[in-house]
Amino acid sequence: MRSTGREKVKVLSFEELRKLVYKHDPECSVLTPSDNDIVDITGVGSITDAEPTSLTFVDSSPPASVEAIKDTRSLFIICNRQTASVIGEDRFGKVILGVVNPRLCFIRVLTALLEREQSVRGYWAQREAFIYPDADVTIGNYVMLHAGAVIGAPGFGYERDESNRPIPFPQLGGVVIGDHVTIGANTCIARGTMPKQNTVIGAYTKIDNLCHIAHNVQIGKRVMIAGHVQIAGSAVIGDDVWIGPSASISDHVCIGNAAEIVLGAVVMEDVPPGAKVAGNFAVSYPSHAKDWTRRKHGRE
């Protein structure tokens, strides 16, 4: 076995690999060396540094993909169907698996190979992750909490008194995390403010490292949140949204389904479904790009 941190990739025969690939792409094309003397797969690697018995993938198109397959030391390559058809009879003495989406196929095969601690229902948390014991936290199945993740911290709520001193608003709500959610290292998710008022993370949402999700935020399903994102209190994020690195979303803002927030954007108002916004303050991406081009070339 080859160790990849705390996870280990199982030794895999060619027939087992073929079954895994066919499971996700029944019309996969498979090219094998003419001598049929195929060794087992003992690990994984990138196309540039994979060992001979490592599985790898290339997602570019010919001729670049063909050259990458020719040059790699790996004997097991997942590529797109166009690349497989161009290679044809050459094969370079390697096993070539032509699929619709090489990267997705590789991810699915690798996920099946990894021996994870999270192999049963429930959630998996690294030792350094912390769930506030006094918070009402509900965590779904197959959830991953990475090192330093903090769940259920009190939210940032204050009211100034007669002497202008900030007085904390007791935070009494909870956190609800759906199935198949990943929370990155040193990401903090605050609890809701009032009882029955929860901060919610929808199923299959993936949150990167060093993010802050404030109290009462509602995040939908399958949302992708990159590193250093800040989402202020009571914001609502729809399903299938992409939020780029270091983006900031103001409180009570609503982001529509399938919207895209470009890296570094500062979102101060609602974003319609399917829209793409960028800039500080964020505007529609085509308008931002046009304005940036105009300023770059010195035109008003």
4 SS3 class: strand
Q: What's the CA gap between 21 and 41, in Å, rounded?
A: 14
Number of Cβ within a 10 Å radius of residue 19: 11
- Of 146, 212, 215, 288, the catalytic one is 215
Asked if residue 82 lies in contact with residue 61, where contact means CB atoms within 8 angstroms, the answer is yes
**Most distant CA pair in the chain: distance in Å?**
86
Asked if residue 58 lies in contact with residue 47, where contact means CB atoms within 8 angstroms, the answer is yes
CA-based angle 231:232:236, to the nearest 5? 70
Residue 71 backbone dihedrals phi, psi, to 5 degrees: -85, -25
Asked if residue 217 lies in contact with residue 229, where contact means CB atoms within 8 angstroms, the answer is no
Q: What share of the chain is helix, strand, coil (3-state, %, to 5)?
A: 20, 30, 50
Under DSSP, the state recorded for 169 is -
Q: What's the CA gap between 228 and 230, in Å, rounded?
A: 6
74 SS3 class: coil
Q: What's the CA gap between 125 and 127, in Å, rounded?
A: 6
Residue 24 annotated in active site:
no
Active site residues: 215
